[in-house]
Amino acid sequence: MPVKDVLAHVDADELVELTRDLVRIPSVVRPGDPAANESAVADYVHRWFLKEGFDVEVQDVAPGRPNVLAVLGAKGAGKSLLLEGHTDVVTEGDPALWTHPPFGADLVDGRIYGRGAADMKSGLAAAMVAAAAFKRSGTRLGGRLVVGALVDEEAGMIGARHLCGTTIGRDLDAAIICEPEENELCLEQRGVVWARVTVRGRMAHGAMPEAGVNPITGVGALLREVPGLQKRLRALCAKSKYLRPPTVTPTIVRAPLAGVPQSNVIPAGAETTLDIRLTPGPTEDVVAAEIDAACRRAASACEGVTIEWRALNGYRLATSVGKDEALVRAMTKGVRQATGRAPRFGGVPGSTDGTILRTTLGIPIVTCGPGNRLIPHQVDEYVDVDELVAAARIYVASAMQYLGT
Ligand SMILES: [Zn+2]
């Protein structure tokens, strides 16, 4: 079947309404509130695929937080391709700051507004409609197409980690991550390490600092190491065509670590978190050695303090795939077929579920989805309908190129 016959089954109006439905279901995860999670969206996606006649596998990742995997075709002698989306969204913040209600899914001048409109109910909807286009057109793919709606991308990525341990995950050969990247083909993603640094001193009266050891001085010393650490990591990482160079950014400073803060008490402990972004190159050990060295230098500058650190959520190193990968070649052709233009290549400033899939399963990933790259997590988040429809078409043509018929 020619690709245009499958593309004819991508209905723009249906895609817009599906995206709006998904945006209207708030899926902000609020720890402590068992009703505030991805379950309602997951349930919607599950029922939608059943109605379309797909085989659906629901994987319970955590109580009330399921991954939904819709499967089309058998892998057989062919390949298995994942179209990946996540069902959680970040907080809407203060709704009064929004011009369009955060879960209203207003459609105005060719844009859909709302939390998750770009990141990433739209990408998920585009993947769903793309998969359905194969089913509705009666196309038999030469492999297996999986649409994955995963939980918890915005936090610990437990949905992606869980998927990697399941049969359906281990059988994957490649994945398209449908995150908002303006439909560019992103071949690289920056990595992230959150280094939680804990400084210990000795409690004392603020009027008699000589009687204690102030851990806040140690935090200060560590912060002075940040520019040097950033410089060394930049030297160790490869220069990237698509990614900004590594950065080391302090994001949290906290003291005391126990008890109430009091102006006349030197605390026993203090901590800071460094948000470290990396480009491809160094291994975990190399990155760790640099952070160790920065902590050692800071400690030696402050007599009596001890400084330790750990990686919150482990290491998510930068990922990269080459233009010669079968998936990249398939998508390069797919973009031309779907949009009539040559693809733009790019890189993802942060990490995504694709980071987990790439590093755990070793499979190639390309991040490509609708939505302005800078709009996620902002108020009045939106997606352009034109970009949304183009994304669904790109997924159809790319999957067809990659899996064959
Ligand atoms: Zn996202």
**Left, alpha or beta for 89 (phi > 0: left; psi -120 to 50: alpha)?**
beta
Helix (H) / strand (E) containing 273: strand 269-278
d(C-alpha 202, C-alpha 210), whole Å: 10
CA 327 to ligand 1 center in whole angstroms: 21
Looking at the structure, tell me whether residues 276 and 372 fall in a common domain.
Answer: no
Considering the entire predicted model, what is its pTM? 0.91
Encoding tokens for residue 399? 């999957």
CA 352 to ligand 1 center in whole angstroms: 7
**pLDDT value at position 78?**
93
Final residue of a domain: which of 264, 288, 316?
316
Count of domains for the chain? 2
The CA-based angle 111-332-48, given to 5 degrees, is 50
CA 4 to ligand 1 center in whole angstroms: 29
**pLDDT value at position 151?**
98
Q: Which domain holds residue 156?
A: 3-189+318-403
CA 353 to ligand 1 center in whole angstroms: 8
Looking at the structure, tell me whether residues 279 and 331 fall in a common domain.
Answer: no
**pLDDT value at position 35?**
85
Amino acid occupying residue 361:
L
| Contact between residue 124 and residue 376 where contact means Cβ atoms under 8 Å apart | no
**pLDDT value at position 313?**
85
CA 350 to ligand 1 center in whole angstroms: 10
Looking at the structure, tell me whether residues 52 and 141 fall in a common domain.
Answer: yes
Looking at the structure, tell me whether residues 30 and 178 fall in a common domain.
Answer: yes
CA nearest 348: which of 330, 366, 329, 375?
366
Looking at the structure, tell me whether residues 195 and 55 fall in a common domain.
Answer: no
CA 341 to ligand 1 center in whole angstroms: 26
CA 367 to ligand 1 center in whole angstroms: 11
DSSP 116-166: TIIIIIHHHHHHHHHHHHHHHHT---SSEEEEEEES-TTTT-HHHHHHHTS
d(C-alpha 307, C-alpha 318), whole Å: 27
Looking at the structure, tell me whether residues 25 and 91 fall in a common domain.
Answer: yes
Count of other CB atoms within 10 angstroms of residue 57:
17
d(C-alpha 365, C-alpha 356), whole Å: 10
**pLDDT value at position 76?**
84
Tens-place pLDDT, residues 183-219: 999 999 999 999 999 999 999 999 999 999 999 999 9
CA 257 to ligand 1 center in whole angstroms: 32
Final residue of a domain: which of 286, 316, 346?
316
CA 90 to ligand 1 center in whole angstroms: 9
d(C-alpha 23, C-alpha 204), whole Å: 52
Q: Domain of 201: which CATH number?
A: 3.30.70.360
CA 124 to ligand 1 center in whole angstroms: 10
| Contact between residue 184 and residue 368 where contact means Cβ atoms under 8 Å apart | yes
CA nearest 35: which of 26, 48, 44?
26
Helix (H) / strand (E) containing 221: helix 215-236
Query: CB neighbours of 80 closer than 8 A, spacing ≥ 6?
Result: 143, 144, 145, 146, 171, 172, 173, 174
d(C-alpha 233, C-alpha 245), whole Å: 9
Q: Which residues pair with 316 in a beta bridge?
A: 192
CA 168 to ligand 1 center in whole angstroms: 22
In 110-123, which positions are buried (b, 16+ CB within 10 angstroms) versus exposed (e)?
Answer: ebbbbbbbbbbbbb
CA nearest 200: which of 327, 306, 357?
306
Looking at the structure, tell me whether residues 261 and 201 fall in a common domain.
Answer: yes
**pLDDT value at position 32?**
87
Q: Per-residue pLDDT for the chain (405 aa), expressed as one digit of tens each?
A: 899 999 999 999 999 999 999 999 999 999 888 889 999 999 999 999 999 999 999 999 999 999 999 999 988 889 999 999 999 999 999 999 999 999 999 999 999 999 999 999 999 999 999 999 999 999 999 999 999 999 999 998 999 999 999 999 999 999 999 999 999 999 999 999 999 999 999 999 999 999 999 999 999 999 999 999 999 999 999 899 999 999 999 999 999 999 999 999 999 999 999 999 999 999 999 999 999 999 999 999 999 999 999 999 889 999 999 999 999 999 999 999 999 999 999 999 999 999 999 999 999 999 999 999 999 899 999 999 999 999 999 999 999 999 999
Q: Domain of 332: which CATH number?
A: 3.40.630.10
d(C-alpha 90, C-alpha 153), whole Å: 10
Encoding tokens for residue 305? 């303090």
Looking at the structure, tell me whether residues 202 and 217 fall in a common domain.
Answer: yes
CA 1 to ligand 1 center in whole angstroms: 33
Tens-place pLDDT, residues 212-234: 999 999 999 999 999 999 999 99
Final residue of a domain: which of 316, 349, 384?
316
CA 200 to ligand 1 center in whole angstroms: 36
**pLDDT value at position 98?**
98
d(C-alpha 403, C-alpha 334), whole Å: 12
| First vs last C-alpha separation in the chain | 8
CA 54 to ligand 1 center in whole angstroms: 25
Looking at the structure, tell me whether residues 170 and 196 fall in a common domain.
Answer: no
d(C-alpha 240, C-alpha 336), whole Å: 25
d(C-alpha 196, C-alpha 310), whole Å: 5
